[in-house]
Amino acid sequence: MFGSIGISEILIILLIALLIFGPRKLPELGKSLGRALFEFKKTSNEFQKTLRDLNKEIEEEAAEEENKKENTDNSGTSLQG
């Protein structure tokens, strides 16, 4: 989740946050951050689902067009033959 950030770097960040915001505000900030991350993930998942649905629709329409084209080509060749 944190990529190349190690435990020591995380502890330093938490210590700085504790010094800046104090022990009373830190749980409140953590809760707010958790809610924000949850909403971000939820929105991201909804966006990905929308993209998958659109991609599926496009593929279905392309398949329908291909079928129509094949049917037109097949009917045209049988009339000529």
The structure tokens 């900030």 sit at 29
pLDDT band at 9 (very low <50, low <70, confident <90, very high): very high
| Per-residue pLDDT at 75 exceeds 80 | no
3-state percent breakdown (helix, strand, coil) of the chain, nearest 5: 90, 0, 10
More confident: 3 or 67: 67
The pLDDT of 36-40, averaged and rounded, is 94
Smallest Cα–Cα separation from 49: which of 34, 57, 37, 33?
A: 57
Chain segment 52-73, per-residue pLDDT in tens: 999 999 999 999 999 988 888 7
Residue 43's alpha-carbon distances to 3, 38, 40, 48, 69, in angstroms, are: 22, 9, 5, 9, 39
Q: 26: how many CB neighbours lie within 10 A of its CB?
A: 14
pLDDT band at 81 (very low <50, low <70, confident <90, very high): very low
